[in-house]
Amino acid sequence: SQTIHQWPATLVQPVGSPLSLECTVEGTSNPNLYWYRQAAGRGLQLLFYSVGIGQISSEVPQNLSASRPQDRQFILSSKKLLLSDSGFYLCAWTRDLIYEQYFGPGTRLTVT
Amino acid sequence: DQQVKQNSPSLSVQEGRISILNCDYTNSMFDYFLWYKKYPAEGPTFLISISSIKDKNEDGRFTVFLNKSAKHLSLHIVPSQPGDSAVYFCAASAGGSNYKLTFGKGTLLTVNP
């Protein structure tokens, strides 16, 4: 069976500090991978998606970037965090040509 | 521009009764619709989906109805249980765009014992 991991689970970072969130998927190959953010009181906003190694598409121009160094690894980064980057970050995966996405447990990021 | 709208931020029902969660969309290119359930501090869990070629899909206590002409879908939960208390997100996809999902803002369902 497939499993998706995210870490860390929670993170408190000062404004201006860097960020690295990691997501890995087990039990499948060549998944489509997605990063979402849920800000307080809001829905799920798609940030980035990737259909293969090194292939990243950005949905919303902002202070964040994503990379996919390995087939089942997806990383969300920032060089300098802003207060507005606070939120709940979710990674999701799906197989190609499949609509249903499966989510990881999420990372709660608080920028202070 | 919000393409998927869940106009009720919250809904409260009694245990054993029906819960009806509603969702409206504006993009006529959407051809697949999904419902997710989310508990606090956890990732969303896929519940049920429906293709635009159907108008109803049922899975146990959960039924999703799609009205394409009205661009409206709903999720029915019968009977509602206290464990169903969670935030429910409606999502839609236009398929060819890398199967990206567009989510609504969610509806908090509270099922009272």
CB distance B91 to B101 below 8 Å: yes
State percent of chain B over pLDDT 90. 90
CB distance B26 to B3 below 8 Å: yes
Q: What is the rounded distance in angstroms from the CA atom of residue A32 to the CA atom of residue A101?
A: 9
What separation in angstroms does the CA of A105 have from each of A52, A83, B5, B40?
A: 22, 22, 25, 10
- For residue B41, the chain A residues in CB contact (below 8 A) are 88, 106, 108
pLDDT at A61: 65
Residue A1 reports pLDDT greater than 90: no
- For residue B100, the chain A residues in CB contact (below 8 A) are 34, 46, 49, 59
pLDDT at A59: 86
pLDDT at B44: 95
pLDDT at B99: 79
Q: Which of residues 30-69 of B touch A (CB under 8 A)?
A: 32, 34, 36, 41-46, 49
When the pLDDT of each residue in chain B is averaged and rounded to a whole number, the result is 94
Q: What is the rounded distance in angstroms from the CA atom of residue A96 to the CA atom of residue A21?
A: 24
pLDDT at A42: 77
* A83-111 pLDDT per residue, tens: 999 999 999 999 877 889 999 999 999 99
State percent of chain B over pLDDT 70. 96
CB distance A74 to A30 below 8 Å: no
**Residue B56: Cβ within 10 Å count:** 10
CB distance A71 to A30 below 8 Å: yes
* B44-60 pLDDT per residue, tens: 999 999 999 999 999 99
* Cβ separation B89–A43 shorter than 8 A: yes
* B65-100 pLDDT per residue, tens: 999 999 999 999 999 999 999 999 999 998 765 778
Q: Nearest-CA distance from A51 to chain B in Å? A: 8
To 5 degrees, how large is the angle CA A71–CA A72–CA A75?
Answer: 100
